Amino acid sequence: MIPLHSEPVPSAADAVIVGAGINGLATAYELARQGLKNIVVLEKNYLGSGSTGRCGGGIRQQWTTEENIQLAAESVAIYERMSAELGYQVFFRQGGYLMITEQEEDLPALRAAVDLQRRCGVPTDFLTPRECLDIVPGLDVGDLKGATFCPKDGTAYPFAVVWGYARACHRLGVKIFIKTTLTGIEAAAGRIQAVDTDRGRISTPVLVNCAGPWARSLAAKVGVELPNRQERHEIMVSEPLKPFLDPMVISITNGIYFSQSMRGEIVGGIGDPAEPRWEDPEDFATHSGLRFAVRFARELTRLYPRTRSVRMMRQWAGMYDVTPDHRPILGGVPEVGGYYHICGFSGHGFMLGPMVARRMAGFITTGREDPIITSLSLARFAGGDLQADAFVVG
């Protein structure tokens, strides 16, 4: 069991973190490891109840911007030893990622991405359609034009990662309060002073916004305007089957992705351009839709015919916290000392979160400039010259 707190919140804390998904819990863990005492995590629902608990668990290093590649590579190194470090099995499996395209015009971008990833130390290869069959036998390669493959990419079980971080946080003295809502933020003289919750007031000099889809509304409470918007995405899970699929398969043509979990289920999703965008996550609908089920089943069985007889068992919806350039927003703002945000991962916080948390913890505790955090700060949107990552799918 993970010890959680039901008593009133403490009257003071050295840091308050809002959100108990991977970003909030990993940040609390890293802050505690780096010596910060008396840390409080606030979660208005249950652990992993936001985007983390609704994601597909994929972890890849195949990106088109150096910051995302470096963060992902560093996170993979953490995932490789995470079970031992946290003392909890997170079911990380490196079956690789096969990124495919059915459009000839994508090939230059794929080749350029491979070159960039290799310069960053990621062992990605460009594959012909026929070579894809060595990775995924039975894949229909008739319409494929090319693909890339990195064997060190993989998957982990999102809830196990959340529980592992929560248990490690507890051992380090972090207090986690679920079913606790942030109701207000007090700032004076340009600095964070305290937060108000439905369980009491906490005096604190540090507030870390890891609220995921709710990050924008939380930031607005201290006068910070984030450019994030919310996108609804669905995932479907099949009945358990004998293992036959090692990598995650992902298409940059239509956004479908699918993998097989360690328990044997096929887990996958596909983006839908017709889905509305939300400014307010409170308007978000988590119900399942027939349109998604049909679109996903049709594309999955077309690309991978052996799944035609597979029975789909359940589906659910989650949110992508999307930024204009599909890269996260990290760091603080000069107008409000002690306020920090870790948000805007555009559906990929699970794969980037562990190293983002480590870097942000160092930034918060020492104040030393981190070049990646600086490049991904909110200030980049003021210039208008954004470097968007091209491989945002799902």
The CATH number of the domain where 9 resides is what?
A: 3.50.50.60
Q: Are residues 125 and 266 in the same domain?
A: yes
Q: With residue 118 as reference, give the H or E element that holds it.
A: helix 107-119
Q: Are residues 21 and 168 in the same domain?
A: yes
Q: Are residues 77 and 218 in the same domain?
A: yes
Q: Are residues 187 and 303 in the same domain?
A: no
Q: What is the mean pLDDT of residues 250-256?
A: 94
pLDDT at residue number 2: 67
Q: Are residues 205 and 235 in the same domain?
A: no
Q: Find the DSSP H helices in 122-280.
A: 129-135, 158-171, 215-220
Q: Are residues 133 and 160 in the same domain?
A: no
Among residues 268, 300, 322, the one where a domain terminates is 322
Q: Are residues 350 and 315 in the same domain?
A: no
Q: What angle do CA 296, 299, 304 make, to 5 degrees?
A: 115
Q: Mind listing the pLDDT tens digit for each residue in 346-358?
A: 999 999 999 999 9
Among residues 301, 322, 343, the one where a domain terminates is 322
Q: What is the mean pLDDT of residues 320-342?
A: 95
CATH number of the domain enclosing 121: 3.30.9.10
Return the closest-CA partner of residue 376 out of 324, 322, 323, 331: 331
pLDDT at residue number 385: 67
Q: Are residues 284 and 352 in the same domain?
A: no
pLDDT at residue number 390: 72
Q: What is the mean pLDDT of residues 92-114?
A: 96
Number of domains in the chain: 2
pLDDT at residue number 271: 86
Percent of the chain scoring above 70 in pLDDT: 96
Question: CB–CB of 110/260 below 8 Å?
Answer: no
- Residue 24's SS3 state is helix
Q: Are residues 47 and 188 in the same domain?
A: yes
Q: What is the mean pLDDT of residues 126-139?
A: 97
Q: Are residues 139 and 262 in the same domain?
A: yes
Domain assignment of residue 72, given as a range: 1-93+153-227+324-394
Q: Are residues 266 and 162 in the same domain?
A: no
CB atoms inside a 10 Å sphere around CB 170? 17
Q: Mind listing the pLDDT tens digit for each residue in 176-214?
A: 999 999 999 999 999 999 999 999 999 999 999 999 999
Q: Are residues 77 and 26 in the same domain?
A: yes
